[in-house]
Amino acid sequence: MKRAAFFIPFIILLISCTSQPDPNEPRSMGEAIEVDEGHEAHPQSNRVPHADVRSEKLDINETITSVMNLPKQIELLHDILNGDQNPERNELSLLYNSMGWLNVESLDRETLIIMEKLNNRLVQYDLPDGQITELAEEGRGPGDILFTREMQLFDQKMYIAMQGFRVSLFDCTTGLCEFENTIDTGVNNYSITRTNSGFTVLGLPPFGFDDSPGMDEEIRQFTLHQFTEEGEKTGMFSPVYSHQNPMIPERMSAEGFVRYHPESGRTILISQWLPYLYIYNSDAELEEKYRIPDFIQGYYNLIVDDQISYFRNDMPRSIIQSVTSVDDQFLVIQITNRTNLRGVDRTSRPPSAEEYDQHVTYYAFDMSADQLYKLGEDHYRDGAPRLFYVAGHGLLEAGEEKAYWIGL
């Protein structure tokens, strides 16, 4: 089995048709900003998925009565962000340094499953006594945990998407979660969701493997890949960000989230770096292209001749940090925003800023009614940032050094 696929030098070209953007679409992307000669700024409006389809801006519902009708854990998050509640916090005995690289699921009111993606560490946490059980070690041993990107719990079965072609399954129906098996998807997996007939991953094939089995040109045109429960591939859809240099589609398309609404059979795709929320119907056809309000478009530069790319850290930007499904109906969207940059140096590579303000905005999206609720903003204070992760039985509050559980 080939494991170093995504470290292979970039020797292939990604060939994809480029759609023309809708002339009425707001032009706030890379082609609208000034760059040095020989540089490109991405994203560009004519290269994004479904560039020829005009987006519809989502209206924000901010009324208290509407928020009170949301699931209890979302209501709790709203109240904390707006100072309406200061609930009891249970400090977790975790050793971690990856505040923004966590996934958390709750099996019940006393049991958490936590994935530390940077450390490839999967643990089961017993809340009453603080006992931690490591379910899988990093590497090729039981659990097959390596280059993890996302963990999702569906019907007491844990799905772990990894960048190295694989999805690992854990059975959590009795006691400790136990490794069940691993499915080879043939793509680097960045996000995963359960569907009514199996599962779908957001993934791209590795660079440099164009001669490998299954690595035909068609697979490089799509980002969403459908599978049965047993791992048989049944379809592909959602076009990739169009660019010949494979680093750019990898950044613009792969880093995102795929979610599913069981009642309607719709699939939702959200990229970290784009302001769009794409909704596909049960036939994998684009149904809606929504635009998230107040999203600050950031940029990723490519030096064309040198094939070097870097983030524009000298400009304000938003990044969609996480998208969590709640009760099969709602999505909690967490957006980190960088504003008010000071001490900007545009001569360095990459360009940078000495100081900036940062805050996190939390939204809830109702997948049944296509309604967006603003839950609140959390501004970093005194150099002590925190992020909230929503689970079935409460919230995980993650700081730079400590984590806390807030139960319902």
* pLDDT tens-digit series, residues 26-38: 456 877 788 888 9
The arithmetic mean of pLDDT across residues 247-263, rounded, is 93
Confidence of residue 2 (pLDDT cuts 50, 70, 90): very low
pLDDT digits (tens, 9 = 90+) for 105-157: 999 999 999 988 888 888 999 999 999 998 887 765 666 677 889 999 999 99
- Among left, alpha and beta (phi > 0; psi -120 to 50; other), residue 245 is beta
Q: Which of 38-47, 199-208, 262-271, 322-331 is predicted least confidently? A: 199-208
Q: Is the pLDDT of residue 384 over 90?
A: no
What pLDDT, on a 0 to 100 scale, did the predictor assign at position 17?
40
| Position 11 pLDDT exceeds 60 | no
pLDDT band at 101 (very low <50, low <70, confident <90, very high): confident
What is the arithmetic mean of pLDDT over 174-190? 91
- Please check the confidence at residue 194 and state whether its pLDDT lies above 90: yes
Give 138's DSSP letter: B
Report which secondary-structure segment, H or E, holds 235: strand 233-239
User: What is residue 179's three-state secondary structure?
Assistant: strand
> Both tokens of residue 156?
């007491």
- Identify whether the C-beta of residue 407 lies closer than 8 Å to the C-beta of residue 109: yes
Q: In terms of pTM, does the model score above 0.75?
A: yes
Calculate the average pLDDT of the chain. 86
Residue 302's nearest CA partner among 345, 245, 241 is 245
- The CATH homologous superfamily for domain 5-9+56-407 is TolB, C-terminal domain (2.120.10.30)
CA angle (379, 384, 389) in 5-degree steps: 70
* CB distance 250 to 5 below 8 Å: no
Q: What local confidence, expressed as pLDDT, does residue 111 receive?
A: 97
Domain residues of the chain, as ranges? 5-9+56-407
